[in-house]
Structure formats: C-alpha cells, structure tokens
A and B are shown apart, each in its own frame.
Chain A
Amino acid sequence: MILLRLISWQYTRKHLLRSLLTIAGIVLGVAVFVGMHTANQSVLTAFTQTVDRIAGATQLQISAGEAGFEEDILERVQNVPEVRVAVPVIEAVMNPQTKSQANILILAVDMTGDRSLRDYALESGDESFIEDPLVFLAQPDSIMITREFAAENDLKSNSELTLNSMDGPKKFIVRGIMKSSGLTTAFGGNLAIMDVYAAQKIFGRGRRFDRIDVAVQEGLDPAAVQVKLEKVLGSGFQVEPPSSRAKQFESLSSVYGMLANITSLFALFIGMFLIYNSFAIAVTQRRSEIGILRALGATRRQIQVLFLAESAVGGLVGAGLGVVLGILIARGIAGSLGQFLGEVYGVAQKAEEVSSDPRLLVGAMVLGVVTSLIAAWIPARNAARVDPVQALQKGRFQLLTAGENRMRRWTAFGLLSFVGVSLAFGHGRLIFYAGYFAAIFAGVLLVPTLGLWLARGMRPALKAIWPVEGTLAADSLIQSPRRTSGAVTALALSVSLIIALGGMTQAAYASIEEWLRVALNPDMYLAPTQNFTDRSFRFPAELASEVEKLPGVRRIQAVRIVRLPMDGEPVMFVALDVSSVTQEARLPIVSGDGPTMYSDAAAGKGVIISDNFALMHNRKRGDVLTIPTPGGPLQMPVLGVVVDFSDQKGSILLDRSVYDKYFKDTSSNVIRIYLQAGVTVGQMRERIAAQAGTRFRYFVFTNEDLRSYILKITDQWFGLTYIQIAVAVLVSILGIVNTLTVSITDRRRELGVLQAVGGLRRQIRGTIWLEAVLIGAIGLILGCGFGAVALYYALETSARDLSGMRLAYGYPFRTVLALIPIILGSAFLASLAPAEAAVRGSLVEALEYE
C-alpha cells in the first residue's frame, strides 16, 4: 500500500493525462455496458411496473398467447371454486388526439367485479359530483383517466375525449378522474380505464377477451390454483402470475440485451489492449525504478503485486467513471429505446425514469477491475522478472526480443491450425466458438509481426514522399512495436468488427429486400393502426369481406398475426389463406417441396416455418409442432422451411382456416390487397373510403409505404450496431492518442534534434501526424484482413444464436471505402493534441532528455 502511494501515485500523477487515457477504455466499456443494460432494464422495469401496477391484487393471469379467447372461458374460470375473483381484461395502446400527443394505455375491465382487484380511488371533483359506476357501465362512451393525464390535457369530469376507435372516431366522456395511486402511475400515468365490453367494439375484439385477471380465495396458494386452472382450461391457455409477462417481454427483447453485451464486451476487450499497452510501456519506462526497488529488497512478488494493484485501482477508477457515464447514457437513450423496442416488438411500455440495478453496477465494477487485471497481468509479470543489475544500466528495451516474436508467431500458427480444424470438423457449438476465440487470439498475436512488416514495406514510399517526416514516422513504428502494437491491435480489432457488422448489414439488407420483393408484393395494405407491429386493434371479419367485394380488387388476404408461446418463448404465428398467397408469392424455400408443401399447408395439414425459427428452435421438416390453442393442443407437422423475416425470433405460417377453427377468431391485423390491372392505389383508396367511411378505423399503406416502414425498422435496428462502431473507433482513437503521447515522450530528444537542425514546427507536427495516420493505416489494413474472418464468424454466430438468419457472405467493400477516410481522419485528429505537445516543450530540455 505504501509502495502504491509512494511509487505508483507519483508516476500516475506525473503521467496523469496518459493514465486517464489508459483507463478510458475501461470507462467506455463499462459505460456502454451499464448504459445499454440500464436503459434496457429501465424499459423492462417500466414494463414490469406497468404490469405490476395494473395487476393490482391480481395473482394469476389467463391468456392464450396474443390470440385472446371467447367470453365463455370467463364463466369456466369463475366456476372454479378456488377462484375468488376473475375479471376479463382487454389492454390496448392508442394515440388519442390530445394536447400531450402521448400514447395512452387503455385498460378495459368489467367494473362490476374489478374493484376488488384494483383500487380506482376517484377524485370527488369540485361540484361534489358523485362518480357513478352505474353510469360508467351504462354508457359505453365512459372513460376514466388519471389525474396526471387529466391535468396534462386540460380534461375534467364530463370532458370529451375523442378516440379513434375501430368503428371510426368516437367521443368519450371522462366519467372519473383517478386519484394518484400505484395504479395511476402505470404507463407513466397515461392510463385510461374503460368498460371491457365497450372496448371489444372499439378495438375490434368481437366477443373476446385478451385475458382474465384472477385472484384466488384467501389462504390458498396461487401456484396450486394455477395448476388447477391449467387443468381446467387445457394447454391452449397460459395461466401465469403477472410477473411472467415481464419475462416474456424480456425474452422477446433478449436480442437487444445480447447486443448490449457484445458491444460492451468488445469495448472492454479493446480497452484491455490499451491497458496492456500502457502497462507494457510503463514497465519499460520504469525499469530503473523497478531495479532500484529490487535493489532495495523488494521481492519479485511485491513488484508484481504493485503493478497489479495499480491496474486494479485504475480499473476501479475507470469502472467508477464508467458507471456514472453509463447512467448518464441510459438517461439519454432510455426513452427512445423504449419507443424503439415498442415498435419492434409491438409491446407497449413507457420508460420514464432510469432504474439501475445495484447488482448490474457491482457487476460492471468487477468487470472493469478484472479486465484491467487481465490486461496488466503480463506486464506485471515482466516487471517482476526485471533483473535489478541490468535495469540500472541504460539502454533501449522497446524492442521485442526475437525469441518473443518467434514464440508469438508459432503460437499464432498453432492457433490458426486449430481454427482450420475447427472449421473443417467442428459442427458443435463449443468447438465453433473455441475456433472463433482462437482466431481472435491468433490475430492479436500476429499484429506486431504483421504491423512491423507493413511499416517496413511502407517506409520507402513514405521516404519518397516525405523524406524526413515520413521516414521518422515509419521508423518510430518499426523501432517500438511494443509502443504501437497495442494501439494497432485495438484499431485492427475495431475495424474488423466494423467490417463484420458492415458485411452483416449488407447481407441482411440484401436478404430483407429480396424478401420484401418476393413476399410482400400486394399492391396495398389496410391496417388498423399506423404502426404495423402494434396489435392493439383488429379488423372484424366483415371489413375483409366488404373490401373483397369492391370493384377493382383482384384478391385480398386477411392476415392474423399473433404471438403464442412455443417452448416457453413467444413465437409469431402468421395465419393467412395459404392457397391464395401461393398464387401471388412464394417464399424462398430452404427445405421442402414447393407445390405439395403449399397445397398441404393450404389444406390445413401442417405448417410452414421460417428458417430462423427452424435454426433457433432446432426444428426441421417432418417435425411435429404442438401448438397451444384454446381448443386444445394442435399437432401440426412442419411441411417445409422458408426464408421469412417476419420476426426476429422466427415465424410460423399456418392456414387461416386452421387458425379460425382452433382459435375461433376471425379478426385480422392486416388486409393485403391485390388490385386488378389498371386500378390505381389512389382509386382504391377512394373506393375503400366510400365503402368503409367512418364505420371503421383503418390506415392505407401502399406497397412502398410498407417496404420503407420495414426498412426503417431495419435501419433503426442496425442503428444500434452503429453504437458499437462508434465505441470501437473511439476506443481505438484513445489508443492512438495514448501511443502518441508515449511516443513523443520517448522521442522527445529526437524531435528536439530535428528542431535544432532546422525542423519547422509544421514539420515536427507533420511527423507526429504521419505516425498517427500510419498507425491508422496499418490498423485499417490488418483490420480489413481480420474483418474477412470476423464477418464469417459474425454471420455464423448470428445464424446459430442470434437471429437464425442465414445470410450470404459478401465482403463489404463499400464499408472499407467509407472507413478509409474515417479511420485515417480520426487517427489524424487523435494526433493533433500530441503533435501540439511535441512542439510546445522546451528545446533545451528535449535535447538533454535522457
């Protein structure tokens, strides 16, 4: 501890800027980790809170996926003696045309029984108006809102509120303003209560409920009642405590969580090189200090512990700063993330405040410290091995020993052979990922050697262009691989990540566009909401048949999209008229025989699954899926596998007739319309308007609208990955700054000589700039090479464990073109401050510098 204060602190204080740069990698890594997870957690917490607050005294919730079920289920539940209260619920989100423009969560319940589950404490109002539950029930235009929502939108008791219902715009009367309570804070206070039977009409539910909220008889164990209810209702229903809804949402958005992990681990990984680099340099620079300490009686162990303690403290400080920064980041992005996840998954929640889990924060701190310790491990060991006699002699120790280099190369070669073997024979997950890591490790080991070759190769060209600056810049790299290889490695890894992401993006776009072209070829679409993923509203069957009869309509397909639990995860089911679809579009087949596959599916003999579902759920053609339906479990063989991007977690296509039969649900989420030749979308829009008028709520989307909508979501999704790129580049730039800071210290005398013999400031700056750009260029070149491998692994990982999408390999040359100015430019920017520092110092001191 004393050593730490006497020795390390002095060194740190002297190289404060550099020390800060060193831990910047940890700061960023931890910040990204904390930020993305906290934002995600906040969204989840907001969702959970909304679920909790809305749940009230509800102990169990009964649902049938998202499909809902018929009213008679309610009676069956109520007749179970262990059930104290069972209340039907419809839940939907809509955008009322109000002042605040905020979405509002509509909780529709049966008020006659619901008061025993939820406490609707009402404001008594100014004119002593006695809220009348009977009026509330008697008038379907009744709505109850929270005090917060009322205040925000200037609403009072008996105020009118227009909601765009399934039957067109409809006026509602505020018949109750709820006092602030747990319930009213759900969904950020934007909550409205209405009668469940009124809601059936408004949201196009027919005579169906979304779910039933249950409280059990006093003294009974909800888990036991859950089992009883499951038995009574059959496997088509899910009987679960309200908290499991949050789990489903979590599982739905798990891809995002995984992405957050990858990004932050990557940042930490790159950060690790910065720390390694700094410590390697520090150990070299402090050789004489170490020698003195050893001469004074410090043991090897003490030296090693000293350096490790330094790194632990650095890691702790970095992680601490990272946690703070991360929470700030989370504050910034929680709102938009919530909205984005809502749009992607069609699940409503509202993240108002950032809630950070102490476990996450502690985990992040530990992660930071551990990363720092790992990074410092080898330099600390080297420090311990310093020979006190040699250390006190002067000399250069920047060079890597030939032996060290040879060992690195042989290790790398060994690893690469393993990679080759793993690719040739390894179909297993473990061996695949082992190969992945071996490839990364081999790359890291080869960076100094490859970097050296590149620098040597570029020296003549540089000398020809900039005889002094160029030569010196190249020499600086050639002479001190230890100084530069960390930065180059970090940069190369970043670039390879970007290449991999770029390649994936390119491939994903290509596939999605192809899918859009093939699968989504109707001329126009009708949807009950402006947002395609939102399933709050549904079209009644009448609308579909009315539209079908309109002149100019060649064909319609009423599609019902629901998420149902399969293997414990919500999976998207797409129910549509398969024979009709087959005549217009055929999805690219992965396995299965085209004609029979579609005709069997149309006959209700089985389902067609998407390849990402097949991959992630490990299903293949011929497997039999058990689909939970209110009418009992439905056994359906998999007739074929097709490419379909309807959902990240995979999708299952089944014929409309099967769905209708087992779910007794004829509503639809989207109506696909094919027009007769010569009929324009505009004409049809008018005809639909004339037919539907204000009787229905609907939105018309052209083919182009939908395509751009999906591409927008895709963009947003990949937008998240740009965070990774930004973080990677940022960390690498910090690496360059760090390296140059060390470089100008090391080369102070050299630079001084240069000035003494007539080098102008711009020439001095020039050589620093060139050195930075050279590091950038080498990192870029190596990164582009590594990227080719990284892309392969990224595509495989994505297919195996993330999205299940099989994407074609294509090297993203455009990304490389874009990267050249970005990386070289950033490297140049990174060199500005060090270059200034280089020309500012005292010349006399520089020349005497030892």
Chain B
Amino acid sequence: MIDIIGVSKRFDGKKQVTALDSVNLHIRKGEMVSLMGPSGSGKSTLLNLIGGLDRPSAGEIKLDGELLGGLTDDALTKLRRDKIGFIFQFFNLLPTLNCLENVSLPLHLRGWSTAKISERANELLNLVGLSQRLDHLPEELSGGERQRVAIARALSVYPPILLADEPTGNVDSSTGEEILGLIRDLHSRFQTTVLIVTHDKGVADSCGRRIALKDGLVVQDVTA
C-alpha cells in the first residue's frame, strides 16, 4: 500500500538539517502502524511526505503503486483527497464553520451534490457519535469532540489511508483512549491502513506494527 524507497528529506537553512536519511519502509494494506521517536526524529516529516503535503529531497514514495514524485501539485491533491484522510494534533478545524460544514468541506471540494454531501456528513458525524452537535462551532466543543469532528472530516470518502499526527496529543488521557478506540474501530471496520505519529507509548503499543525513528533513521520496526 505505502512504499517508501530510500527517502531523504533535508531542510536548507543556515545549516543543513537532515530530517530523514534514506528511509525504506513498506506498509501493507490494512496495517495499523505507529511512528515513534523523539522531537526532531523525522516522524512528522515522514507523515507529511506520505500525505503528499511535502516532497522528499531524494527517494520515492508510492501509494497504491502510484509514484508521488511525478505528480503535479494538483494531481497530488487529487490523490490525497481520494486516498488519504488527515488527523492533526491541533484538529485544524475551520473556526468559522460548524461541525457539519467542517465535515462537508472535503466533499464540497470534490464537487459532490449538496444532497449527497448532507447525507454523507450526517452519516460520518453519526459514526463518530456527534449527531447531536451538527450546527455547533468548533469553539463550542470539547477537545475530544473537536478531534472526533476532525476524524469524521478525515473519513469523508472513506479513504484507504488514514494519517494521524499526534491525534491524542492535545486531549486528556481518557479522551485520548476514546479517540484511539474510535480510530481502531474504524480501522477494523473499513480495513483502513492507519499510520499514527505519537510519542505516547500506550498509543504505540496498541498498534499492530511499531516503527521508531531517531535522527532520520528507522531504528526499530516491530510487528506484534
């Protein structure tokens, strides 16, 4: 499903920083993988590269056999919206839109009809247990609820890949459990390939495969 072949990422500044150094990974369809490592180990960078938000300095990434390197920005975006759902640590909900609108956003971007969007958005919010909060603005929700809205948004078209960057980093531990349970539930229900960046050992341990990064190198890759 996800092939990472010799991927390096360097950031040019006054001093060149190597965030990833010739990383090779193969993630199969339906795997639930955790990415761990200290700050600056390159785990978020790897997630961004897989999600097509950034491009590698060297190496190749294939999603479903498709090479990301050869795509234009817009083609990359199209690939992303069909195949990938993003869950961010800071939720990244649009503050001016209510829950329903936030969840509808990716569907609108795909140009779906209003009726279809409404149906799907309601379904998704129902799925994350927020059907009572459709017209609430993000600032009226608790942290866990916001993350659930974000997850519902990420699931918009039931993408085969779900990328989560510290999904529990900004909520208390019981809510974190709840969120993680939701992700696991979705993983098993839709056979979604899930990649979670975390530094919560508990979160990592709950994943089938645990990868650890340090200084841009894969230092551990364990499948339970």
Report the bound CA distance from A843 to B73 in whole Å: 11
Asked if A753 is an interface residue, CB under 8 A from chain B, the answer is yes
Report the bound CA distance from A750 to B153 in whole Å: 14
Contact of B106 among A472, A750, A758, A844 (CB under 8 A): A758
- Cross-chain contact B54 with A756 (CB below 8 angstroms): no
Asked if A760 is an interface residue, CB under 8 A from chain B, the answer is yes
- Best-buried of B45, B74, B77 by chain A (most CB within 10 Å): B77
Report the bound CA distance from A756 to B86 in whole Å: 7
Asked if A814 is an interface residue, CB under 8 A from chain B, the answer is no
- Cross-chain contact A467 with B104 (CB below 8 angstroms): yes
Chain B residue nearest to A753 in the complex (CB): B92
Asked if B31 is an interface residue, CB under 8 A from chain A, the answer is no
B residues 39-66 touching A (CB-CB < 8 Å): 45, 48, 51, 53-54
Q: Which B residues touch A755, using CB under 8 A?
A: 53, 77
Asked if B110 is an interface residue, CB under 8 A from chain A, the answer is yes
Q: Which A residues touch B105, using CB under 8 A?
A: 468, 754, 757
Report the bound CA distance from A45 to B56 in whole Å: 67
Q: Which A residues touch B145, using CB under 8 A?
A: none
Chain B residue nearest to A842 in the complex (CB): B54
Q: Which A residues touch B106, using CB under 8 A?
A: 757-758
- Cross-chain contact B51 with A757 (CB below 8 angstroms): no
Chain B residue nearest to A850 in the complex (CB): B90
Chain B residue nearest to A845 in the complex (CB): B54
Contact of A756 among B51, B73, B95 (CB under 8 A): B51
Asked if A178 is an interface residue, CB under 8 A from chain B, the answer is no
Report the bound CA distance from A752 to B106 in whole Å: 13
B residues 64-108 touching A (CB-CB < 8 Å): 73-74, 77-78, 80-81, 86, 88, 92-97, 101, 104-106, 108
Q: Which A residues touch B81, using CB under 8 A?
A: 757-758
Asked if A160 is an interface residue, CB under 8 A from chain B, the answer is no
Q: Which A residues touch B110, using CB under 8 A?
A: 758
One digit per residue, 1 when the CB lies within 8 angstroms of any chain B CB and 0 when it does not, for chain A 759-800 equals 111110000000000000000000000000000000000000
Chain A residue nearest to B93 in the complex (CB): A753
Asked if A471 is an interface residue, CB under 8 A from chain B, the answer is yes
- Cross-chain contact A760 with B96 (CB below 8 angstroms): no
Asked if A749 is an interface residue, CB under 8 A from chain B, the answer is yes
Contact of A475 among B73, B96, B117 (CB under 8 A): B96
B164 to chain A, nearest CB (A): 13
Report the bound CA distance from A235 to B107 in whole Å: 88
Asked if B114 is an interface residue, CB under 8 A from chain A, the answer is yes
A393 to chain B, nearest CB (A): 16
- Best-buried of A471, A749, A761 by chain B (most CB within 10 Å): A471
Q: Which B residues touch A635, using CB under 8 A?
A: none
Asked if B222 is an interface residue, CB under 8 A from chain A, the answer is no
Known A-B contacts A468-B108, A753-B92; the reply to A847 vs B73 at CB < 8 A is no
Q: Which A residues touch B97, using CB under 8 A?
A: 471-472, 475
Chain A residue nearest to B53 in the complex (CB): A843
Report the bound CA distance from A847 to B92 in whole Å: 8
Chain B contact residues, majority secondary structure: helix
A residues 506-550 touching B (CB-CB < 8 Å): none
Asked if A479 is an interface residue, CB under 8 A from chain B, the answer is yes
Asked if A196 is an interface residue, CB under 8 A from chain B, the answer is no
Report the bound CA distance from A842 to B9 in whole Å: 14
Contact of B109 among A476, A750, A760 (CB under 8 A): A760
- Cross-chain contact A750 with B54 (CB below 8 angstroms): no
B residues 120-179 touching A (CB-CB < 8 Å): 153-154, 156
- Cross-chain contact A759 with B109 (CB below 8 angstroms): yes
Contact of A757 among B96, B101, B117, B153 (CB under 8 A): B153
Report the bound CA distance from A843 to B74 in whole Å: 13
Q: Which A residues touch B93, using CB under 8 A?
A: 753
Report the bound CA distance from A758 to B111 in whole Å: 11
- Best-buried of A749, A758, A843 by chain B (most CB within 10 Å): A758
Tally A residues with Cβ within 8 Å of B: 26
Known A-B contacts A757-B86, A759-B109, A760-B78; the reply to A844 vs B48 at CB < 8 A is yes
Chain B residue nearest to A763 in the complex (CB): B109
Asked if A478 is an interface residue, CB under 8 A from chain B, the answer is yes
Q: Which B residues touch A468, using CB under 8 A?
A: 105, 108-109
Q: Which A residues touch B104, using CB under 8 A?
A: 467
Q: Which A residues touch B95, using CB under 8 A?
A: 479
Q: Which A residues touch B73, using CB under 8 A?
A: 761
- Best-buried of A754, A759, A761 by chain B (most CB within 10 Å): A759
Contact of B96 among A478, A756, A844 (CB under 8 A): A478
- Cross-chain contact A761 with B77 (CB below 8 angstroms): yes
- Cross-chain contact B94 with A753 (CB below 8 angstroms): yes
Report the bound CA distance from A479 to B137 in whole Å: 13
B122 to chain A, nearest CB (A): 16
- Best-buried of B45, B88, B108 by chain A (most CB within 10 Å): B108
Report the bound CA distance from A760 to B94 in whole Å: 17
Report the bound CA distance from A467 to B108 in whole Å: 7
- Cross-chain contact A749 with B108 (CB below 8 angstroms): no
- Cross-chain contact B53 with A844 (CB below 8 angstroms): yes
B93 to chain A, nearest CB (A): 8
- Best-buried of A476, A749, A753, A761 by chain B (most CB within 10 Å): A753
Q: Which B residues touch A475, using CB under 8 A?
A: 94, 96-97
One digit per residue, 1 when the CB lies within 8 angstroms of any chain B CB and 0 when it does not, for chain A 456-476 equals 000000000001100110011
Chain A residue nearest to B159 in the complex (CB): A758
- Cross-chain contact A760 with B77 (CB below 8 angstroms): yes
- Cross-chain contact A761 with B74 (CB below 8 angstroms): yes
Known A-B contacts A475-B97, A843-B53; the reply to A758 vs B80 at CB < 8 A is yes
Q: Which A residues touch B101, using CB under 8 A?
A: 471
Q: Which A residues touch B80, using CB under 8 A?
A: 756, 758
Q: Which B residues touch A752, using CB under 8 A?
A: 92
Report the bound CA distance from A12 to B54 in whole Å: 29
- Cross-chain contact A472 with B96 (CB below 8 angstroms): yes
Q: List 19 interface pairs A-B (beta carbons < 8 Å), by A numbering.
A: A467-B104, A468-B108, A471-B96, A475-B96, A752-B92, A753-B92, A754-B105, A756-B51, A757-B86, A757-B154, A758-B80, A758-B110, A760-B74, A761-B74, A763-B109, A843-B48, A843-B53, A844-B54, A847-B88
**Contacts A756-B51, A843-B48 given; 20 further ones with Cβ under 8 A?**
A468-B109, A475-B94, A475-B97, A478-B96, A479-B96, A752-B92, A753-B88, A756-B92, A757-B81, A757-B154, A758-B81, A758-B109, A761-B73, A761-B74, A761-B77, A762-B74, A843-B54, A844-B48, A847-B53, A847-B88
Binding site for B on A (CB under 8 A): 467-468, 471-472, 475-476, 478-479, 749-750, 752-763, 842-844, 847
Pairs of residues from A and B, 3 with the lowest C-beta to C-beta distance, nearest first: A758-B81, A475-B96, A467-B108
